[in-house]
Structure 1
Amino acid sequence: MLAAMPPTPASSPNKGESLIRDRGDACPGALRLHRADDGLLARLRLPGGLLTARQVEVLGVAAEGLADGNLSITSRGNVELRGLGDACGGELSALLADAGLLPSERHERVRNVVASPLAGTDGIGHADVQLWARDLDGLLCAEDWTPRLSGRFLFALDDGRGDVAGLGGDVTLIAESGGTAVVGVRSVSFRIAGADAPRAALAAAKAFLAAASAAGNGAWRVAELPAGQTVDLGGALEEAGVGAVRLGAGGGGSGGPAVPGGPAVSGGLVASGGSAVSGGAGGPAVSGGLVASGGAVACDGSAVPGDLVASGGSAVPGGSAVSGGAGGPAVSGGLVASDGSVAPGDLVASGGSAVSGGSAASGGSVAFGGSGDRAAPGGSGGGSSDGGAVAGWSGRPGTASPGGPPPGVIGRAVSVYAPLGRVTVAQWRALLPLPTDELRVTPWRGLVIPGFGDEGAARERLTALDRAGLLADPDSPWLGVGACTGRPGCAKSLADVRADAAPGHGSLPVHWSGCERRCGHPHGDWVDVLATGDGTYEVTLHTGGSTIPVTGDTLTETVTTARTTTKPTATR
């Protein structure tokens, strides 16, 4: 019988010392295959998660004829094929190249680009960053120096709604209203013309390589640079001929750029439309009619009328303040309280969430849609159908927080999720046909089909995908549940975690891991269920940069406690 056990106290050997990399990364690709216990593994980079109908067909053929009949979706919106035979490499590469999935063999592992999956589909956001992703991909493949980037180096392209800005990109682009954008590396940010965004991202990557070379520690990612090692983003932009204005330093981090006085990231979330975020994750920020509370960030200057002040998790219009904790009252006049209740009118984020386009979120995620509907605590929220939200969204989470669109019909797009991040060939083919020859694979192991002619056609497809076994219901108990490969596919795994993973509702994503590498775990706050090798699991809550052990009488009870409590107290 599976059981929970008290976690072993974490140790941090060499804490404070710089990480030293004495080799290149071993990340698999479409050509560099990884040998696992279940055969060879190929990882195919999909910049922005974009696939055409032809490419969807080809991947289905490859999965059925060369692999184990499944396609796995990664936390960067890429696709993996497992169970490949020893002699399949040439046939696989030929299939992929013929479908346009291998534009450059030298560059195939550095095409790591995530982009807002609903960009350009729902009227929220300030730019179609999927177009930026295509342009950036072309730039990456055109340069001789870019193959020096690690296969783990990540570009995050956010359209201003705050979804992918919190995914830990090494280079982050955030679209603004008015045709401008912000490019950021660590806490350094510059405002640029939106048209220059792809070139600016490329310049930022070049600046990182220069910094990594100067540091001499073999860093694969920006976060691995030694303390004090700067990335000369300004110099790189100037060298690339990109006009830029430096923005003030602030409390950003690995989640993206911090930009007081303009678009910003605080705690991995985005403010745009002239708002400001100051201080750390717990401090209030007010500017230009926007309010941030408890580390949350409001996006879009139209979201909140008037000047607002946040204090301790509550917000009111008119420049006054309400003190109190996270459980503060709902405030009328177009606000949402941190408990998730919503007043009519435009809405404000509270409790570590991001808001875009007048929608509301509470508890660490983004709400999609118009005003007047209840926010989704800890998940993607609802709104009116004409605002692009899922009608009847019940407030349960998506597969990661913040950011992923909820399952359902969103405007004229359909959003579904892969159970435990994996789909069969039959489920994959059920995604076809594509109304606009485009499928978007998301970093939350979801799939978005944009461009349906009307809501009826979209709902018909959603029903078909539900019948195929994809997660199309916002009430599914499998939403928010993820797992690594586990046994028998991975030699390092101590358990068959995919068989052990249990469904259940909760405000935080949960990830089941077979070993301490925790492959594919979510970003932000999440629940860690780690196999110990003796039939038991350790359960730990990762929140706000802290790790909190959680125990209980049964494993199911322990995981439920961790997922539904912000900061649970460990029990004996």
Structure 2
Amino acid sequence: MPPEPAAAAPGPAVPDRGQADACPGALRLHRADDGALARVRVPGGLLTGGQLRVLATAAEELGDGELETTSRGNLQLRGLGSDAGLELGTRLRAAGLLPSDAHERVRNIVASPLAGLDGRGHADVQAWVRELDRRLCASDWAVGLSGKFLFALDDGRGDVAALDADVTLIARPAGAALLRLGRAATARPVPAGAAVDAALAAARDFLAALRATGTAAWHLREAPDLLDPGPLPLPAFDDPYPRPGALPGGLCVGLRFGRAPADRWRLLADAAPDGLRLTPWRGAVLPAAAGEWLPRLAAAGFRTEPGTAWDGATACTGTPGCARSLADVRADARAALDAAGRPGLPVHWSGCARRCGHPGGDWVDVLATGQGYRVTRGAASVEVTTHEMAEAVAEARRTT
């Protein structure tokens, strides 16, 4: 079970990993209450319009007609038939979305989605993404990584560095970088031109240390003493992740709980002639998209304005898709968010104690109990009915 919100730092004990890693992929489908689920890795969130159209059509013809993003900027298809895997794999290979069957679950890479658009940052992290993905898929040892292991490539602004990935590269001036391992408070210096080398070496060293010590862990944060974190302090960052609306060099839109029908995804492909970048915050950056698209995207149901209660709001699947869930958390959360006008701390609704997809840092935990919800911020919790939940969440999210 993920840690409670108050437990920001990992404990000394390594979690029991006696069971095999069951993280779904595009070929290893997960059986859910609403059918099979496929998770398609999209390194760096980088998709061409053609690839997005292929996925949208696959969702319509093989699944429930919708696509949803994940907290790692990947895409999921739900409601698939039990025999859909072979056909889905064929379509993904043809679209360039499955370069290696053996490595498809380990291609977990997030990257700064505004890199190169707004004049900030110190590196072309899209180039890092492509090199890291290519070399991962060419490395026999990399198939030993968990499907949950995450690389973050930050252009120096601190957006994806805040996600506490297993291996984080933070670009610095003059082509240099910092390498952060797990949730370490310090980092290793990386010389110019060696960023991807350093990231791959860290992942390989982690696997070697697991074998040498007999440690069972999926993440570096679960075994922080296995590798030397390095001597340098992390730089200070502000709050730079993209909000919905017009941006320098393009547009950003949000998706409510990351989910939308196939026709809306095709509309995004039409609006983004240079492709798009899925974000870990259930949104999409559309480089080179014209501002005239914003009203049309808003009319289609995308979030196109910042400063609403939907900012920083996430939820697990809930019922009817998950048998473990004690409530239809997305319906309850949607009603609560539509009733509140102000943004605040990140908030996550969970249907069970696993809290799938919860954010890091300081966040409000809204957990279904079967009789209502438990709303928790830090050490303070309150039990409420579903009717009372919206007000309790709005109070817990207040930052002043």
Residue number among 120, 124, 141 corresponding to 1:124 in the alignment: 120
Q: Within 2, Cα distance between the matches of 1:81 and 1:119? A: 28
User: Deviation digits for residues 414-449 of structure 1, max 9, x if unmatched?
Assistant: 101111221111211110225553210000001010
1:493 aligns with 2:325: yes
Alignment check: 8 A CA contact 1:139 1:199 kept: no
Q: Which residue of 1 aligns with 2:270?
A: 433
Distance of 1:428 and 1:525 partners within structure 2: 31
2:316 to 480, 484, 489: 484
Any idea what SS the aligned residue of 1:152 has? coil
Q: C-alpha displacement at 1:476, in angstroms?
A: 3.8
Deviations 1:278-332 (A, max 9, x none): xxxxxxxxxxxxxxxxxxx2xxxxxxxxxxxxxxxxxxxxxxxxxxxxxxxxxxx
TM-score where L is the length of structure 1: 0.65
Among candidates 87, 92, 95, match of residue 88 of structure 2: 92
| 8 Å CA contact 1:29, 1:43 repeated in 2 | yes
Which residue does 2:217 correspond to in 1?
A: 219
What pairs up with 1:452-531 in 2 under 5 angstroms? 452=289, 458-501=290-333, 502-503=336-337, 504=340, 505-531=342-368
SS in 1 for 2:246: strand
Per the alignment, residue 397 of structure 2 pairs with: 563
Q: Which amino acid letter does the alignment assign opposite residue 62 of structure 1? A: A
- Residue 54 of structure 1 aligns with an amino acid whose one-letter code is G
- How far the C-alpha of 1:16 sits from its partner, in A, is 4.9
**TM-score where L is the length of structure 2:** 0.91
Equivalent in the alignment of 1:330: none
Matches within 5 A, 1:213-362: 213-225=211-223, 229-231=225-227, 248=231, 259-260=232-233, 264=234, 271=235, 297=236, 354-355=237-238
Deviations along 1:465-489, whole A, 9 cap, x unmatched?
Answer: 1111011111444333221111011
Aligned pair partner of 1:549 in 365, 381, 384: 381
How many residue pairs match? The answer is 385
Alpha carbons of 1:551 and 1:20: their partners in 2 closer, same or farther (altered >3 Å)? Answer: closer
> 1:18 maps to what in 2?
14
- Give yes or no for the alignment of 1:450 onto 2:287: yes
Q: CA deviation at 1:413?
A: 1.2
SS at match of 2:163: coil
Consecutive unaligned residues of structure 1, counting only runs of 5 or more, are 1-7, 234-246, 249-258, 265-270, 272-296, 298-353, 356-364, 367-403, 453-457, 567-572
**Structure 1 Cα separation of the partners of residues 200 and 129 of structure 2:** 11
In the aligned structure 2, how far is the partner of 1:417 from the partner of 1:435? 15
The one-letter code of the counterpart of 1:224 is E
Hey, what does 1:538 align to over in structure 2?
Answer: 374
Residues 61-116 of structure 1, C-alpha deviations (whole Å, 9 max, x = no match): 01111111111111111111100001111110001110000000000000010100
Q: 1:510, CA displacement in angstroms?
A: 1.3
Deviation at 1:194, TM superposition (A): 3.6
Q: Which has the higher contact order (CA 8 A, sep 6+)?
A: 2
Is residue 34–residue 78 contact of structure 2 (8 Å, CA) maintained in 1? yes
Partners of 1:99 and 1:207 in 2: CA distance: 33
Secondary structure at the aligned position of 2:90 is classed as helix
Secondary structure of 1:41's counterpart equals: strand
Give the SS at the match of 1:486. Answer: coil
Percent identical pairs in the alignment equals: 55
In 1: Cα distance, 2:308 partner to 2:394 partner: 15
**8 Å Cα contact 1:207-1:232 kept in structure 2:** no
Map Cα deviations across residues 199-252 of structure 1 (whole Å, 9 max, x no partner): 211111001111211231311111122x6x33257xxxxxxxxxxxxx52xxxx
**Large movers: runs of 4+ above 6 Å:** none
Distance (whole Å) between structure 2 residues aligned to residue 547 and residue 29 of structure 1? 36
Are the structure 2 counterparts of residues 174 and 528 from structure 1 closer, same or farther at C-alpha, using a change threshold of 3 Å?
same
Task: Indicate how the Cα distance of structure 1 residues 500 and 176 shifts in structure 2: closer, same or farther if over 3 A, else same.
Answer: same
Question: Which residue in the other structure is 1:43 paired with?
Answer: 39
Q: 1:552 and 1:23 mapped to 2: Cα distance?
A: 35
Q: Larger helix proportion, structure 1 or 2?
A: 2
Q: 1:408 aligns with which of 227, 245, 254?
A: 245
- Whole-Å separation in 1 of the counterparts to 2:307 and 2:141: 47
**Could you tell me whether the CA contact under 8 Å between 2:122 and 2:171 is conserved in 1?**
yes
Asked whether the equivalents of residues 515 and 530 of structure 1 are also in contact (C-alpha less than 8 Å), the reply is: yes
Q: Residues 71 and 422 of structure 1 are in contact (CA less than 8 Å); yes or no, is this contact kept in structure 2?
A: yes
Structure 2 runs not aligned, ≥5 long? none
Structure 2 residue identity aligned to 1:499: A
Q: What is the distance in 1 between the residues matched to 2:125 and 2:197?
A: 13
- Equivalence for 2:197: 199
Query: What's 1:109 paired with?
Result: 105
Classify the secondary structure of the residue corresponding to 1:433: helix
Matched, 1:159 2:155: yes
More displaced, 547-556 or 20-29?
547-556
- How far does residue 53 in structure 1 lie from its aligned partner after superposition? 1.1
Cα distance change, pair 481–192 in 1 and its aligned pair in 2 (3 A): closer
Deviations along 1:362-419, one digit per CA (max 9) or x if unpaired, are xxx33xxxxxxxxxxxxxxxxxxxxxxxxxxxxxxxxxxxxx3011111121101111
RMSD (Å) for aligned C-alpha atoms? 2.1
Distance across 2 between alignment mates of 1:137 and 1:200: 14
Does the CA-based 8 Å contact 1:551-1:558 persist in structure 2? no
